[in-house]
Amino acid sequence: MKTLTKLLAFVFIFISFQTSANETETGPYLSIGQNWFNYDDDWRLDDESDLYFGAGYQFNKNWGVEAQYTDVDTTFLNTLDVSTKFYSVNAVYRYNPRSNNSFYWKAGLGKYSISRINESLDPALKLGAGYDFHFNDNISFTLGLDTHYQTDDSQLDWVPYAGFNIFFGGNKPAAVKPVKKAPLDSDRDGVYDNQDRCPTTQENVKVDSRGCALDSDKDGVYDSFDQCPTTPSGAKVDTKGCRVMLMDDVSIKLHVQFVTNSNVVRPAYHEEIKKVADFMRQYPDTTVVIEGHTDSRGAASYNQQLSQKRADAVMQYLVSQFNIEQSRVSADGKGEVSPIADNDTAEGREANRRVQAEIKTSVQKPQ
């Protein structure tokens, strides 16, 4: 009785410091506690109690195996003091992982051996159940009831017990799934760095599939900041992407000269024509009339036709080479009626063999 009192006191002290743990544990453990043997043939063996010892191994969160040994001092036929030894090997199933409070059951085989009377009994079947209270990851208090059934004598012994398990195993590492790293998007434009052709795009700027800022009307102002997103191509714009409006008269002159009886535009004047094209793109509302002229040599009717061909040649070059809309350009052959120099000299006649134009427009100045 004193042994039971001490054991229960020890249990209550540990319960007051109980902790919980949630990780599955595997590994060996030792057990020690007190058995109370209630023999079925108590006419022969007196009921008695004594310590038990055990060792086991937890394989996973549910299953383990253990071996137990008990040596009980009792009385045979109320006259002879004997020692009853019981050995057993058991499989143990827990409903919760170790380090958690849990019900469990066990099943195994055992054998009795009684000293001083040279009696060795046949094996006994062992079945039991109990509850495990965990104080921390390594120590638990257990309460249970085992039954020992001797098949030959049909004896059924009842053995309640209380004790402690000391666990030496470590935490079984949980399977760690490899974590895939998300692709980087340093400028946060929605296009990953390994596909981003413009990796330093300004924040909040709309980008295309390559990660480059969108400028749909190609006016130099990104769509995200463009308040006039349909500005005509080449138009001069302000920082908001809107056309610059000036209050001013602007103009540009075109002067192309030709050799005698020719309407071929010479390479020396290509840059001259490009300047006109740039001007017209910058001011999309402008139009131009290309005038063709000749010197006074030859028939007037021939000179009229030649002047028209010269004007047409410059017009077509302006349209085909610089993509100026045909509707904005017209050609007019003036013949020999508007000389700008004396036709009696070679220099004068060369000056008169020309195509000329002047574009003027009035635009608004910036606010």
Query: Cβ distance 281 to 319 under 8 Å?
Result: no
Average pLDDT of the residues in 275-295: 90
Exposure b/e, 20-55, CB count within 10 A at least 16 = b:
eeeebbbbebebebbbbbebbeeeebbeebbbbebe
Question: Encoding tokens for residue 256?
Answer: 């192309």
The arrangement of secondary structure in 2-171, i.e. its CATH architecture, is Beta Barrel (2.40)
List the one residue out of 38, 34, 37 whose CA is nearest residue 2.
Answer: 34
The pLDDT tens digits for 180-226 are: 676 777 677 777 777 777 777 777 777 777 777 777 777 878 877 78
The pLDDT tens digits for 75-124 are: 777 777 777 788 899 999 998 887 788 899 999 988 877 776 655 566 88
Q: Which residues lie below 8 Å from residue 22, measured CB to CB, with a gap of 6+?
A: 97, 99, 100
- Say if residue 60's pLDDT is above 90: no
Domain residue ranges of the chain, discontinuous segments joined by +: 2-171, 247-364
**DSSP single-letter state for residue 241:** S
Q: How far does the chain reach from its first CA to its final CA, in angstroms?
A: 106
User: Which range, of 11-20, 61-70, 104-113, averages the lowest pLDDT?
Assistant: 11-20
Pairing of strands 288-292, 63-76: unpaired
Domain 247-364 falls in which CATH fold? Answer: 60s Ribosomal Protein L30; Chain: A; (3.30.1330)
Question: 180: number of CA atoms within 13 Å, CB side?
Answer: 2
Q: Cα angle at 147 between 144 and 150, to 5 degrees? A: 160
